[in-house]
Structure 1
Amino acid sequence: MARMCTETVRLRVYLIYAACGAVVGLSAFIAFLAVYSNYHAAIWGLVSGIFATLVVLILVPHTRFLYQRYRILFYLQIFGLVVAIGSCVAFIVYIILAVVQHQGLDPTSYYVTSVWVFMTAKWAFGLFYFSRSQKRKYEDENQLI
């Protein structure tokens, strides 16, 4: 009973965290696009919000039946891993560009963009992790039947 309660609390914390990530990603997109004209940071903020939304959709118990298909979870897992690796490469590239161009820490610099690239990598890895855990739950439930 205590394990079930702990898992429920952990799931709710993950859901709240991912929902906040989706809202913040959308807010970053609007702010960097409209106020600062930093298109790189705006796009990466939007992509980060999209990946956070995918994490929410995987974790919500009511929509979990949509993702309990083995192939969908497998493809989401691979997609999350590929984007996480690509985002790590982009993070390094943006840091190198900011250093080479001697940019400061203003809202239009590549340093700010690298923060949102890191957030995208984090949510893409989260998509990989939670897709993998849901896929394992699906496999365990189907082996019991």
Structure 2
Amino acid sequence: MNSPVPPSPFWIKARITFAVIGLLVGLSVLFVFGVNFHNWNVALWGLLSGIAAGLALFIHIAYIKRFWENNPYPLKRWMLSGCFIQLAGVCGFVTYLTLAIVNKQGLIIEGPGYYLTCVWCFMTWKWGFYVFYFSRSYKRLYQQVYTILPKNDDDTDYRYYT
């Protein structure tokens, strides 16, 4: 197994920039589609997408500040929350796509437009995947860099055998 490589400062800045944009767009979708178009399905999924982008932003900032340097194991909880966000996004996508097909609905912006809701369910899945992926990669990086005990060739961690 290859040892994880820390991301360059450019990629950290890019990740933070994309997470900030995702957070702002998610919050703006809440107000635009909820208040202006009365499409609360899109508004709430946009909000959930923005919250997931905020979680990804927190993970990146915590990595920069070396929040988990001494104990990277709380990142497992972040990985699990990313999995649940992904599951919610997939379930929502399938549900709203089924509703749109069954109701023979076109692309509707005002009212309960299910195809636009599918888009924001996908965005929620995407940010859930990023929360999972980046927390997993930072956890592996911390474990590789800050582990005292050596690992052998088959990647056995000796801490669990003593």
TM over 0.5: yes
Task: Indicate the structure (1 or 2) with the bigger Cα radius of gyration.
Answer: 2
Is 2:125 aligned against 1:124? no
Q: Which residue of 2 aligns with 1:59?
A: 60
Closer, same or farther in 2 for the Cα pair 1:39/1:125, shift >3 Å?
A: same
Q: 8 Å contact 1:95–1:110 — kept in the other structure?
A: yes
Percent identical: 34
- Per-residue deviation, 1:66: 3.2
What CA distance in whole angstroms lies between the structure 2 residues aligned with 1:78 and 1:35?
35
Structure 2-normalised TM-score? 0.79
Paired residue for 1:88, among 76, 86, 90?
Answer: 90
Which range moved further: 89-98 or 55-64?
Answer: 55-64
Unaligned runs of 5+ in 2: 150-162
Structure 1-normalised TM-score? 0.88
Cα-to-partner distance string for 1:40-63 (whole Å, 9 max, x where unaligned)? 111111110011011111112676
- Per-residue deviation, 1:64: 3.8
What CA distance in whole angstroms lies between the structure 2 residues aligned with 1:119 and 1:104?
20
Q: Which residue of 2 aligns with 1:38?
A: 39
Letter in 1 for 2:135: S
- Per-residue deviation, 1:67: 4.2
Q: 8 Å contact 2:63–2:138 — kept in the other structure?
A: no
SS at match of 1:65: coil
Structure with bigger helix share is 1
Q: 8 Å contact 1:80–1:124 — kept in the other structure?
A: yes
